[in-house]
Amino acid sequence: MKALEEKIVKQGTCIGSEVLKVDTFINHGIDTKFLDDMGKEIARIFAGDEPTKILTAEASGIAIAVAAANHLNYIPVVFAKKNKPNTMGLDVYESSAKSFTKGSIFTLRVTKELISKDDRILIVDDFLAHGQAALALYDIATQAGAKVVGCTAVIEKKYQGGSERVRKLGVHVQSLAVIEKMEDGKITFE
């Protein structure tokens, strides 16, 4: 998505070769018109996979997940929780993953009643980097007996291998902006 690449170059900040900060328009401040455009593009890419539900992880995945759902005939969104709220029952699917940026392990949890075996799941997130969150969401969906039909992110850092890991599971993976490398503050897109 050309407009996204331009926005990343203009407003993003590289922190070393691993971290890209896009706080001004995606995951702290949100440019809602642009978000809607990105949702429309995700819908265009994945409509043919006929998803029935979008699965994402709190917090930064929620906005783009809802934007995509709006353009896929308002299919439901489920966001996995990172902290176990005291309102969450015991009937949950959970899967743990490592955060490379934070250097810690996190656990994603979804209440069982929110995913069924008949669901065709589209995984949506802000970033697809090492793929840990996406693989945990894939794990949760398959625990529920659902089929994961697609996986997308606003920004994919291809060189960190996540997209390849998810693709190997037979999932249609396509992100809106795919970064080949970040070096000396310069971003090279695929």
Q: What is the DSSP letter of 131?
A: S
Query: Interface mask (CB under 8 A) for a second copy, residues 112-151, using x and -?
Result: -xx-------------------------------------
Nearest to a second copy of 58, 183 (CB atom): 58
Q: Cα 57 to the chain's mean position, in Å?
A: 7
Q: Rule CB under 8 A: say whether 28 interacts with a second copy.
A: yes
Under 8 Å CB-to-CB from 121, ≥6 apart: which residues? 51, 52, 53, 54, 55, 115, 137, 141, 146, 147, 148, 149, 150
Q: Rule CB under 8 A: say whether 88 interacts with a second copy.
A: yes
Nearest to a second copy of 76, 145 (CB atom): 76
Amino acid at 132: Q
Q: Which of 85, 98, 91, 92 is nearest to 162 (CA)?
A: 98
User: Which part of the chain contacts a second copy (CB under 8 A), choosing from 56-64, 151-159, 165-173, 176-184?
Assistant: 56-64
Q: Which of 30, 94, 147, 159 binds a second copy (CB under 8 A)?
A: 30
Backbone phi, psi, residue 80, to 5°: -65, 145
- Compute and round to an integer the Cα radius of gyration of the chain: 16
Q: Which of 17, 107, 111, 174 binds a second copy (CB under 8 A)?
A: 111
Q: Using alpha carbons, list the distances in angstroms from residue 13 to 17, 139, 182, 186.
A: 11, 32, 10, 9
Q: Which of 66, 146, 151, 187 binds a second copy (CB under 8 A)?
A: 66
Q: Rule CB under 8 A: say whether 186 interacts with a second copy.
A: no
Q: How far apart are CA 123 and CA 166, in angstroms?
A: 11
Nearest to a second copy of 27, 165 (CB atom): 27
Nearest to a second copy of 81, 130 (CB atom): 81
Contact residues toward a second copy (CB under 8 A) are: 15, 19, 21, 23-24, 28-33, 35-36, 58-59, 62-63, 66-67, 69-70, 74-79, 81, 85-88, 101-102, 110-111, 113-114
